[in-house]
Amino acid sequence: MSNAVSALQGASFDGYCKVEEAGLTGMITLRGELASAGVAKAVKAVTGAAMPGQGQITEGAKGRAGWMSPDELLLIVDHADAPAVVQAASTSLAGEHALVVNVSDARAVFRVKGAACREVIAKLAPADTSVMQPGMLRRTRIAQIPAAFYLEDDETAVLVCFRSVAQYAFDLLKDAAKPGGEVFG
Amino acid sequence: MLILECPYCGVMADETDLHGGGEAHLKRFGPGSSDDDFETYLFHRKNPKGVHFERWRHVSGCGKWFHAARNTMTLEVYGTYSAQTTEPPKAIVNAVKKKHPEWEGWT
Amino acid sequence: MSTRLAQGGRLIDRSKPKNFTFNGKRMKGYEGDTLAAALLGENQMLVGRSFKYHRPRGIVASGAEEPNALVNMGQGGRFEPNQRVTTTELFDGLTCTSQNHWPSLEFDVGVVNNYAARFLPAGFYYKTFMAPAAAWKHVFEPIVRQSAGLGKVPTEADVDRYEHFYYHTDVVVIGGGVAGLAAALAAGRSGAKVLVMEQTHHWGGRAPVDGGEIDGQSVEDWIAATLAELEGMENVTLRTRMMGSGVYDHGYVLGYERVADHTPGDGRPRHRLWRIRTKQIVTATGAIERPLSFAGNDIPGVMLASAVRDYVVNWGVSIGDRTVVVTNNDDAYRTALALKEAGLEVPVILDARDEATGPLAEAARDAGIRVEPGRAIAKVNGGKRVTGVSICLQAGEGAALEEIPCDAVAMSGGWSPVVHLWSHCGGKLIWDEAQAHFRPDPDRAPTGHDGEAFVVTAGAASGAMSLADTLENAYEAGKTAAKAAGGKAVRKAGPKAEAEEAQPMAPVWIMPQGAGPQKRMKMWLDYQNDVKVSDVQLAAREGYESVEHTKRYTTLGMATDQGKLSNINGLAVLSDALGQPIPATGTTTFRPPYTPISFGAIAGEARHEIFQPIRRTPMHQWHEEAGAYMEPVGHWRRPYCYAKPGETNEQAVHREVLNTRERLGLLDASTLGKLIVKGPDAGKFMDMMYTNMMSTLAVGKCRYGLMCTENGFLSDDGVVARIDEDTWLCHTTSGGADRIHAWMEEWLQTEWWDWKVYVANVTEQFAQVAVVGPNARKLLEKLGGMNVSKETLPFMQWADGKIGDFDARVYRISFSGELSYEIAVPASQGRAFWDTLLEAGEELGVMPYGTECLHIMRAEKGFIMIGDETDGTVIPQDLGLNWAISKKKEDFLGKRAQLRSHMTDPARWKLVGLETLDGSVLPDGAYAVGEGDNVHGQRNMIGRVTSTYYSPTLKKGIAMGLIKHGPDRMGEVVDFPTVDGSNTVIKARICDPVFYDKDGEKQNV
């Protein structure tokens, strides 16, 4: 729908890393038996991605699939496609115990771009960012809110949090990326 | 500030990523139970100096509850394991016994 | 006088002068100076006054152990008291002032305490400020307030920024002296990930001051070569200006990095707190020299021997022209030699030992210095500055043998390893008889999560006092730590130095050993807090046997330096007084931080707008632009009301109530929790979570439900909607969504893990708007879309469809008693939906309303509010909600508890309505009193007000409250005494809590 907007409508900040709100992103929570063939099939069908293992995020032609817990996945697709994806995955999983819900609008997504993207997140999250590589997903907190992050490439971190705290998360990332705050170099 | 390995995520989680939930392996008493049993269930908690079994939730991680066998004095962690068990698994009990042969065991 | 020498100073760059001011006086130092060095270079020995007696205080040390030299630093938004000059780097434009004196540093009236010192013994405050109680307010407290505290409190907010940094590594080496570098070398060579931190801005510690050779190079050359090697290792990170502040459980370390203290205003964060998780820690924290206890040892000009040496060698500053050295060990001879080399006079070295035979003593004699073994200082002469010393026999009682004029005294009572970081997390100490110090016991190290040791000490911090021993010990420590952290075995040999011969030190705790009371009253142990040998001895006589008690009674070691100089000396004096060996007395507890760290660093980023997360709904910005008065609800900010220009908040609330009741109101209800519960066992699960029967709720219908804790107490409430055969949607309170979500997950994961139920929190997926009032349906019909008629969408049902162009789920539920639709749309369209409703509703008299209006309308209807009618001790039965408690269910959370005798007591306070006889509004929380008094002589209480408002609808005060036997006392009048001082009683009649539309006709149209 044309009047749909993300929490911060693409706000961005140029620090020693660039911080930008990614805009509307389709996100689906899928809870189910991750070992079942049905779930893998449904994930493949809607994202093109393979089933992610523990701590992983996989990428396919239509989206990504991130491992959130032993019985939960986060599917990332185009925002406009999310309702149809929920429909398709629900139908596909009708025969087993599963829950598929659209959480696209419950989330805010940020990109932190730059060679020091791990360092910026490390100012806020207790997780070990130095071991993070593309293909890994980590759920942790940034300052006082829950967040998950993964790397699109070595210099682009994607961070997901709740929509209501988008401004807080943006302000945190801005503060962490402020010039002069470089820890190394 | 503890670190505990989340048995579900496989990560060493910082205490600030966790939420403590007190004694593990409580048995729930509901309607029909005696006043004494119900009172014990609600209020009576072990407070050992030494080996203890606790509930923890990986609250800003996977959100799952798990159990930890921990020493309240030395803070040594003998192991973490699924919350979906009514008593500590054998491997955990063995890990404790290996360090503390005199330990009287989980009751 | 102290002065800058024409030559020397390995750390300063004389081509880069730096200007600063002290007490408004312009002074000059050089790049590389500490503020202490620069002050001494300008002959500013007197820097403050002591806490209790306001005695003149000079700089006594050259590092973090300094007890005296604390100043007020900076101005305005960068003002900070109690800054230690010995750890402050000099920069251009630095301003500082001395502390704890009035009217001036040179002349301080507080010094009268000094002359009354006989009357201010240990425990003076405890003994004096006791009775009468009335004296506290008018006499004692003003005295204590006047004299308490050292520096001034800042008056402006801190303008700097601070941050945290989480860091994960294998090995942390704390301390960048030769021991730390040697340990880092070993750890670095193992391939482990290593972080090395040094609290000052230069590497190498004090070894270059002491001299010597490592691997055939000068110490300085070795340091440079080692740094080069470490810098070349990708796995090693080196940080200066970073102090190891504390060691905590499971390998957690705080590193306090002073990023921009020396470059204020350059845009960098002032401090960065490193929150480090490491597998292993090497503490290479060195050792601290102890003072000697002789009469007048606190007079400015008396300084640690090592500090005197540091100032000469590092900064080219002499403390005096004539320095008497007094010692019980060999190391202080190095000071005498360094002074001599700098062209300064050392009239005598007083060595408390019976003989002075070591190579250093020989070297001193060879340099023409008079060495006097078996001698002590009987007394230091001088007031604000040393003028001379009286010499006596150490073995005697202090009869003066000779007077020696001098302007400085360099003292050394031996060295104590810095064991703080070792001890923070439980590392144990052993008493080393030969060195007369406590040192870490390597067999009793702090243990981590795996039960294995995670701290190892290196160098002087281990008690290895010579260069050769330090290097060997530290390199081994580095290897040990690296191996434990998973590094490769290191075969390459470590750095070596020649072993030196040394004469053993002799423990000397007071000087002379037979000093009488007059002298002991002038022997300072704790310079900052003014604790003397006589105070500790008095405490022992008064029965303080535990060192922890003595510490608190005398305040020994409780100042901002935490007794870095005074602890061991104090312990020794206490042990002597108690007639027991020092290890039997033990030490006080070492707690982090090692030295004070800034509040800013602890707070990190959590200041100003990011102090706390603020949760915003999709319509938040509209509310702010509309001038809404916002109130916190959990972390949410919700509009309390929307006051128009010229309107008070109260007037706005009343307008909103009337407009909603008469026309049309809009409420942003997005904050309400929304949880999806789905699965084949969801019905069974819902029946356990709610007191109501939820499994029988028909698809398409809504039901108000209650949730209790296992204690039986009401915990949350909300409307539940049955979505399909195995899916329910649970609304929770605004603050309760995360809590209830966690509550459900907890039961599913830890008790009923075999039940097939999934829960998802979709609270923020939706923007939810309550469209409320007689015109509500007209508005929705005007927008078009789904059928919202009474017939198609009756009260307490829901339906999916379109409202205008918006995909919506519409619930016909009412928290106001009016015709009401709660409409959920995707959050991304929430603002657009809100705008659409406002625009279309204009001709229908639409107005947004806030939480206070919501509260009044629900109270008029007698609806309870979690947190008002409940407080964690209230069960649903107390609130007349028995209708919502299923009697058919065998079990639900809280059911068993609600059968406990106290819960079924008929005398429990129960919910009723209250209307005042005069129509006024009862005060919130007011208590109702009954007959008689309780055991404390207070009136017996029989109830309290839980919600109270002025009802604009009914034009009078209405209230709800919990009253003993309340429902049985309808129509009776109860007394609510006021607490506003008027001594009046408000009378209120007990009534039905439903004040408005008792039959619910308005909501069901």
Q: Which amino acid is at C103?
A: P
Using the predicted structure, report yes or no on whether residue A11 has a pLDDT greater than 80: yes
Count of CB atoms situated within 10 Å of the CB of C973: 12
**All residues at 6 or more sequence positions from C577 whose CB lies less than 8 Å from its CB, including other chains:** C536, C537, C540, C541
CA A104, chain centre distance (Å): 10
* B35-44, B98-107, C8-17: segment of lowest average pLDDT: B98-107
Interface test with C, best of B2, B28, B29 (most C CBs within 10 A): B28
Rounded to an integer, the average pLDDT of C555-564 is: 89
Asked whether the beta carbons of C575 and C581 are under 8 A apart, the reply is: yes
Q: Give B6→chain A minimum CA distance, Å.
A: 11
β-strand partners of B52: B70
The span from the first CA to the last CA of chain B, in angstroms, equals 28
Q: Which amino acid is at C11?
A: L
3-state secondary structure of C800: strand
Rounded to an integer, the average pLDDT of C922-947 is: 95
Q: What is the pLDDT of residues B46-78, one digit of tens each?
A: 999 999 999 999 999 999 999 999 999 999 999
Using the predicted structure, report yes or no on whether residue C831 has a pLDDT greater than 60: yes
Rounded to an integer, the average pLDDT of C845-855 is: 98
Query: Which of B 41-60 lie inside 8 A of A, CB atoms?
Result: 59-60
User: Hey, what are C719's tokens?
Assistant: 């409307």
Q: Do C449 and B74 touch (CB under 8 A)?
A: no
Q: What is the pLDDT of residues C765-795, one digit of tens each?
A: 999 999 999 999 999 999 999 999 999 999 9
Q: pLDDT band at C996, cuts 50/70/90?
A: very high
Q: What is the pLDDT of residues C681-699, one digit of tens each?
A: 999 999 999 999 999 999 9
Which chain B residues have a beta carbon less than 8 Å from that of A139? 9, 60-62
Q: Is B8 on the interface with A (CB under 8 A)?
A: yes
Rounded to an integer, the average pLDDT of C265-286 is: 97
Inter-CA distances, C96 with C85, C92, C694, Å: 10, 12, 70
Asked whether the beta carbons of C68 and C528 are under 8 A apart, the reply is: yes
Q: pLDDT band at C751, cuts 50/70/90?
A: very high
Closest residue of chain C to A126, computed from CA coordinates: C166
pLDDT at B7: 97
Q: What is the pLDDT of residues A61-71, one digit of tens each?
A: 999 999 999 99
Which chain C residues have a beta carbon less than 8 Å from that of A124? 164, 166, 605
Q: Do A104 and C765 touch (CB under 8 A)?
A: yes
Asked whether the beta carbons of A59 and A136 are under 8 A apart, the reply is: no
Using the predicted structure, report yes or no on whether residue C918 has a pLDDT greater than 90: yes
DSSP assigned state of C970? T
Q: pLDDT band at C716, cuts 50/70/90?
A: very high
Domains in chain B, ordered, with CATH? 3-99 (3.30.2270.10)
Rounded to an integer, the average pLDDT of A32-52 is: 97
Asked whether the beta carbons of C168 and A119 are under 8 A apart, the reply is: no
Stated as kind and residue range, the H or E segment containing B61 is none
Which chain B residues have a beta carbon less than 8 Å from that of A147? 60
pLDDT at C624: 97
Q: Identify the chains in contact with A, defined as 3+ C-beta pairs within 8 A.
A: B, C
Which chain C residues have a beta carbon less than 8 Å from that of A104? 765, 826, 828
3-state secondary structure of A118: helix
Which chain C residues have a beta carbon less than 8 Å from that of B21? 746
Q: Give C248→chain B minimum CA distance, Å.
A: 6
Asked whether the beta carbons of C324 and C335 are under 8 A apart, the reply is: no
Using the predicted structure, report yes or no on whether residue C651 has a pLDDT greater than 80: yes
Q: Give C249→chain B minimum CA distance, Å.
A: 5
Classify residue B57 by burial, with Cβ atoms within 10 Å: 0-12, 13-18, 19+.
Answer: buried
Q: What is the pLDDT of residues C803-830, one digit of tens each?
A: 999 999 999 999 999 999 999 999 999 9
User: Hey, what are C360's tokens?
Assistant: 């250093």
Q: What is the pLDDT of residues C462-501, one digit of tens each?
A: 999 999 999 999 999 999 999 999 999 999 999 999 998 9
Q: Give A101→chain C minimum CA distance, Å.
A: 8
Q: pLDDT band at B41, cuts 50/70/90?
A: very high
Cα angle C533, C539, C542 (rounded to 5 degrees) comes to 145
Q: Do C764 and A107 touch (CB under 8 A)?
A: yes
Nearest to C170 by CA among C193, C190, C186: C193
**All residues at 6 or more sequence positions from C81 whose CB lies less than 8 Å from its CB, including other chains:** C70, C72, C73, C99, C150, C151, C152, C153, C154
For C200-222, the three-class secondary structure string (H helix, E strand, C coil) is CCCCECCHHHHCCEECCEEHHHH
Q: What is the pLDDT of residues C359-388, one digit of tens each?
A: 999 999 999 999 999 999 999 999 999 999
Q: pLDDT band at C46, cuts 50/70/90?
A: very high
Q: Give C826→chain A minimum CA distance, Å.
A: 6
Q: Is C612 on the interface with A (CB under 8 A)?
A: yes
Rounded to an integer, the average pLDDT of C264-275 is: 97
What backbone phi and psi angles, to 5 degrees, belong to C855? Answer: -60, -45
Q: Do A180 and C764 touch (CB under 8 A)?
A: no
- Measured between CB atoms, which of A5, A123, A127 is closest to C164? A123
Q: How far apart are CA C583 and CA C433, in angstroms?
A: 10
Stated as kind and residue range, the H or E segment containing C897 is none
Tell me the pairing of strands C25-31 and C162-174.
unpaired
Q: How far apart are CA C296 and CA C289, in angstroms?
A: 18
pLDDT at C109: 67
Which chain A residues have a beta carbon less than 8 Å from that of B7? none
Q: How far apart are CA C807 and CA C834, in angstroms?
A: 13
Q: Do A106 and C827 touch (CB under 8 A)?
A: yes
Q: Is B14 on the interface with A (CB under 8 A)?
A: yes
Q: How far apart are CA C476 and CA C295, in angstroms?
A: 43
* A25-29, B41-45, C545-549, C718-722: segment of lowest average pLDDT: C545-549
Asked whether the beta carbons of C226 and C208 are under 8 A apart, the reply is: no
Q: Give A1→chain B minimum CA distance, Å.
A: 32
Q: Do B60 and A141 touch (CB under 8 A)?
A: yes
Round the CA-based radius of gyration of chain C to a whole number and report it. 38
Asked whether the beta carbons of C204 and C219 are under 8 A apart, the reply is: yes
Interface test with A, best of C170, C764, C800, C805 (most A CBs within 10 A): C764
Which chain C residues have a beta carbon less than 8 Å from that of B38? 896-897, 900
pTM given for the model:
0.95
pLDDT at C315: 98
Q: What is the pLDDT of residues C958-974, one digit of tens each?
A: 999 999 999 999 999 99
Closest residue of chain B to C901, computed from CA coordinates: B35
Count of CB atoms situated within 10 Å of the CB of C726: 18
Q: Cis omega before residue C774 (within 30°)?
A: no
Size of interface A-B (CB pairs under 8 A): 38
Asked whether the beta carbons of B81 and B67 are under 8 A apart, the reply is: yes
Inter-CA distances, B63 with A69, A144, C762, Å: 7, 16, 15
Q: How far apart are CA C611 and CA C266, in angstroms?
A: 23
Closest residue of chain C to A171, computed from CA coordinates: C610
Q: Identify the chains in contact with C, defined as 3+ C-beta pairs within 8 A.
A: A, B
What backbone phi and psi angles, to 5 degrees, belong to C437? Answer: -150, 160
Q: Do A54 and B16 touch (CB under 8 A)?
A: no
- Measured between CB atoms, which of A104, A164, A178 is closest to C615? A164
Stated as kind and residue range, the H or E segment containing C1004 is none
Nearest to C725 by CA among C758, C681, C662: C681
Q: Is C266 on the interface with A (CB under 8 A)?
A: yes
Which chain B residues have a beta carbon less than 8 Å from that of A68? 62
User: Hey, what are A72's tokens?
Assistant: 């939960």
**All residues at 6 or more sequence positions from C627 whose CB lies less than 8 Å from its CB, including other chains:** C642, C643
User: Which DSSP string corresponds to C372-412?
Assistant: EETEEEEEEEESSSEEEEEEEETTSS----EEEE-SEEEEE
pLDDT at C1005: 87
Q: How far apart are CA C84 and CA C96, in angstroms?
A: 11
Q: How far apart are CA C117 and CA C540, in angstroms?
A: 19
Closest residue of chain B to C741, computed from CA coordinates: B63
Rounded to an integer, the average pLDDT of C123-151 is: 67
Q: How far apart are CA C799 and CA C783, in angstroms?
A: 16
Closest residue of chain A to C278, computed from CA coordinates: A128
Using the predicted structure, report yes or no on whether residue C10 has a pLDDT greater than 90: yes
Rounded to an integer, the average pLDDT of B83-101 is: 95
pLDDT at C104: 75
**All residues at 6 or more sequence positions from B39 whose CB lies less than 8 Å from its CB, including other chains:** none
pLDDT at C102: 67
What backbone phi and psi angles, to 5 degrees, belong to C278? Answer: -135, 155
pLDDT at C110: 67
Q: Is the complex ipTM more than 0.85?
A: yes
**All residues at 6 or more sequence positions from C607 whose CB lies less than 8 Å from its CB, including other chains:** C161, C162, C600
Q: Do C447 and B74 touch (CB under 8 A)?
A: yes
pLDDT at C105: 76
Q: What is the pLDDT of residues C511-528, one digit of tens each?
A: 999 999 999 999 999 998
Q: Is B9 on the interface with A (CB under 8 A)?
A: yes
Q: What is the pLDDT of residues C938-958, one digit of tens each?
A: 999 999 999 999 999 999 999
Asked whether the beta carbons of C744 and C893 are under 8 A apart, the reply is: no
Q: Is A70 on the interface with B (CB under 8 A)?
A: yes
Chain C residues within 8 Å of chain B (Cβ atoms): 248-252, 277, 447-451, 710-711, 742, 745-746, 749-751, 753, 890-891, 895-897, 899-900
Q: What percent of chain C has pLDDT over 90?
A: 90
Q: pLDDT band at C144, cuts 50/70/90?
A: low
pLDDT at C262: 97
pLDDT at C143: 66
Length of chain B, please?
A: 107
Q: What is the pLDDT of residues C54-95, one digit of tens each?
A: 889 999 999 999 999 999 999 999 999 999 999 999 999 999
Which chain B residues have a beta carbon less than 8 Å from that of C895? 30-31
Cα angle C691, C693, C698 (rounded to 5 degrees) comes to 145
Q: Do C451 and B83 touch (CB under 8 A)?
A: no
Q: pLDDT band at A167, cuts 50/70/90?
A: very high
Q: Do B30 and C449 touch (CB under 8 A)?
A: no
User: Hey, what are C835's tokens?
Assistant: 């705008």
Q: Give B88→chain C minimum CA distance, Å.
A: 14
Q: pLDDT band at C145, cuts 50/70/90?
A: low
Q: What is the pLDDT of residues C308-364, one digit of tens each?
A: 999 999 999 999 999 999 999 999 999 999 999 999 999 999 999 999 999 999 999
Q: How far apart are CA A139 and CA A149, in angstroms?
A: 7
Q: Do B60 and A70 touch (CB under 8 A)?
A: no
Tell me the pairing of strands C162-174 and C271-283.
parallel
Q: Which residue has the tokens 């006889």?
A: C917
- Measured between CB atoms, which of B2, B74, B83 is closest to C750? B83
Q: pLDDT band at C149, cuts 50/70/90?
A: low
Using the predicted structure, report yes or no on whether residue C123 has a pLDDT greater than 90: no
pLDDT at C738: 95
